[in-house]
Structure 1
Amino acid sequence: MTDETADATAEADREELPGGVAQRLEAILMIADEPLGVGALATAVKAPVKEVRRALAALVADYDGVEGAPARGFELREVGGGWRFYVRGEYDDMVAAYIGGQAPARLSQAALETLAVIAYKQPVTRSQVASIRAVNVDSVVRTLLARGLVTEISTHPETGAILYGTTDLLLQQLGINSLEELPPISPLLDDGSDGFDEVMA
């Protein structure tokens, strides 16, 4: 979406909304599971692109403690052409330890199903996994990331969405050398997704 298109959409949909642009951006970014481009954010918060860019810069400065306040434990970063909240780097180990400590010894059925989709469809985005499973998979993917079974491979060239794939640890846990050794998916388990029965390395 171009800046001009986003501005036109925002203007056409402009209405009385709660809070300022920065507050509305925070609300949208808080629930985003993939980076959102400036155009998409402008449309979501119904504000001009230039105003959204200014608000994003102000939020980054606020979270980074530029004005003398302590930096937050999270940060707002632009990755792959989109904006998203991330844990600040120095807290990664602590958060990973917490998530790992909260995780049960065995993976849940939901985690196993999500892991299977990622293994057979990789590289794949969260939204694609959610579409196949017909449920929200945000927390499950976070668990799999914390367990080291999946990882962020790259970003989608068009949407900027994060692409996920499996790790060598999964191969070790399964006792196989490559994804090509995974059993084929039965044609009776068709989920409507073309090529899902093919293993994508």
Structure 2
Amino acid sequence: MNPADPKHLAPVLEALLLASGKPLSLERLAELFEEHERPTPAQLKKALALLDKRCAESAMQLREVASGYRLQVRAEYANWVGRLWEERPQRYSRALLETLALIAYRQPITRGEIEDVRGVAVNSQIIKTLLEREWVRVVGHRDVPGRPAMFATTRAFLDHFNLKNLDELPPLAVLRDLVGEPAVQDEDEVPAALQALADASLDEEAPQPAAAPVEETSFRSLLVELDQMEQGLKTDFDDLRDSLEEQPDPV
């Protein structure tokens, strides 16, 4: 194989990405070659560009996400591909989507701050599910009484939603347009446009304990409030490193 020739390298990369089952970075792809034939990053990118062009007329697409490159079925074929599995995926609850949206757009954010915006208590099962799913992580503790944990999103979150970085999150104005004007619907029903973004199941959240009735913020109102608070908080994921190890345990 001549690594300098994209025509030779592209099918090799295609085989690696098909077999991996997860995104592969340029560094990881290079490691899979013997040293004497190892392609350079520039050669890999040329071959990936050729592979992307070859996929243009197929049901498969090359996608770059936070963790690297992967080959995946195009979204328009999801209805047919979904029939391969008998078990239907569980739907996301409105409460979980609202919590995830707040973390994504206002990170780092504490549970108490999420509750202040939503107007209701956050079910512990929601936070547990997001942590187990590895869509959110604890990045530190707020320097206030009780030292509450601060949550932020992860690379796994970006990978799942086909995002390369946080800058690719849709503007909140776009989300408001997707949600549209509020309509009479079941309070647990998730807007169809947002549900379409989800392609994997989550555990059902546990029932909320009985509490005094509180008026809950509508999802559209939540987006409006988020839009007003939006700041340039979108960062990379190099902020963790050893910071968590240096953080003292909360009292």
TM over 0.5: no
TM-score, scaled relative to structure 1: 0.43
Between Structure 1 and Structure 2, the one with more helix by share is 1
TM-score, scaled relative to structure 2: 0.35
Greater length-normalized contact order (CA 8 Å, ≥ 6 residues apart): 2
